[in-house]
Amino acid sequence: MGARGDAGSAATLRSLPAVHELAGALDAPHALAVAAARRAIDEQREAVRTGAAAPGDLLPRARALLAEMERESLRRVVNATGVILHTNLGRAPLAAAAREAMLRAAEGYSSLELDLESGERGSRHAHVEELLCELTGAEAAIVVNNGAGAVLLAAAALAGPGRGIVVARGQLVEIGGGFRIPEVIAQSGARLVEVGTTNRTRIADYVRALEAHDDIGAIMRVHQSNFRTVGFVEDVPVEALCELGVPVIDDVGSGWLASQPGTNLGEDEPALAGSVAAGAAIVCSSGDKLLGGPQAGLMIGRREAVAAARRHPLARALRIDKLSLAALEATLRLYRDPERAVADIPVLAMLTVDEDTLAERAAQLAAAIGEGASVTRAPGKVGGGALPLLELEGPVVALQGDPEPLARTLRHADPPVIARIHDGRVLLDPRTLTDEEVPLVARALDSR
């Protein structure tokens, strides 16, 4: 750029409005208006310097930035991916009863740690312990903030500093976010004792480890939540482990209660009640996977083992908050009537929805979208580290057009619609949509 161009750019930069002038034209609190105005002016200044844009009216851009800054970051989205437990989207959507319970708990004060009968201090675990014991046959139960926290607390309470925890090599898994079982055990202060091989572990491997180490605090069994080892494999069932005379921590992952009619998952997911009946000292699971509740870490099992976890200092650091606790209690209450649970808990409803319902919803969605939408078939996933081999094939709506811009258009809608791209097409899966969300998806594509 020559001297004349430099002079023109300098003059243009000098003509930009002052921050306070532009902010004064925005209808917003002063600090927010100033921030939006400053960003708009900085953007324009950079565009002029690089020759990317000619100067223009900054007020529309400042208003757009203001709207962006005022918009909530954590937003409700419409899940059209077909992944039921989508970790990026918050995993399990809550039942209406759970949402209502959270609202009641958030309104004013609550009986979180107050025994209303005696007027003395109570335990937050009391709100769900009886329900968990009723539904699983456990002697005692507590709840922490998530599944990984439950495993950490169990390891710390039953083994702790310097003592060993025996784990099969094929179960030294990595869970979401890069957290690995060996690291969780290390953080508990316990020492990892590996047995067996990646694909085959026998009861004799555990026996030898117990004979070789006189300081074993527990055996940990970890369910392969997000993958499966198949072929030349061998494992030891929890029943056999519980006969070895050492407390067993059974991390079953998904929180499957196995009491839901019409949800035949076979042996793919270990049931909480099965591990309790086998004699595990503490059974750990998540609350926001197949249980269909809020983020939580369930710890159920023998009275003395659960009491040790309750007394451990980590229990306070990992404790569940009142809103999640309210949602969990409401979700567990639904399981007292298995048929109602399947109807009212969204995760179970999505797992058991019939083909005719999906086909009708897909047809309605395609008709609402109109040109460029057609019904085809594709598999969906449970997701969230549960049932990795299960494919839920069913009707989906495929969109014509460049998939990346289409997916971006959907994400920028209000509310955002999250789709998936498969074989070069955007797919909208009715399994993870409600009937009420169908028009929202269609409206998101109006600007195409």
Give the C-alpha separation, 430 to 436, whole Å.
Answer: 11
Give me the average pLDDT of each 10-residue run along the chain (448 residues): 55 83 92 93 86 76 92 93 93 96 96 94 95 97 95 95 93 77 92 92 94 94 76 88 96 77 59 94 95 96 97 96 98 94 94 94 96 92 72 92 95 95 95 96 85
Give me the pLDDT at residue 166, please: 97
Mention every residue, 6+ apart, whose C-beta is less than 8 A from residue 284. 147, 150, 151, 154, 249, 250, 251, 252, 297, 298, 299
- What are the backbone dihedrals phi and psi of residue 340, each rounded to the nearest 5 degrees, phi first? -70, -35
CA atoms within 13 A on the CB side of 106: 9
* Structure token digits, residue 78: 């419409």
Assign domain 78-88+347-444 one CATH number from 3.40.50.720, 3.90.1150.180, 3.30.70.1400, 1.20.210.10: 3.90.1150.180
C-alpha span between 367 and 394 (Å, rounded): 18
| Burial class for 114, CB neighbours closer than 10 Å (0-12, 13-18, 19+) | middle
Query: What residue spans define the domains of the chain?
Result: 16-70, 78-88+347-444, 96-344
What are the pLDDT digits (tens) for 193-244? 999 998 899 999 999 999 999 999 999 999 876 666 777 788 899 999 999 9
- Predicted structure pTM score: 0.89
Contact 383, 83 (CB under 8 A): yes
- Cβ–Cβ < 8 Å for 351, 84: yes
> Which helix or strand (DSSP H or E) is residue 369 part of?
helix 355-369
Which DSSP string do the residues of 280-294 spell out, in sequence order? -SEEEEESSSTT-SS
CATH numeric code, 96-344:
3.40.640.10
141-151 tens-digit pLDDT: 999 999 999 99
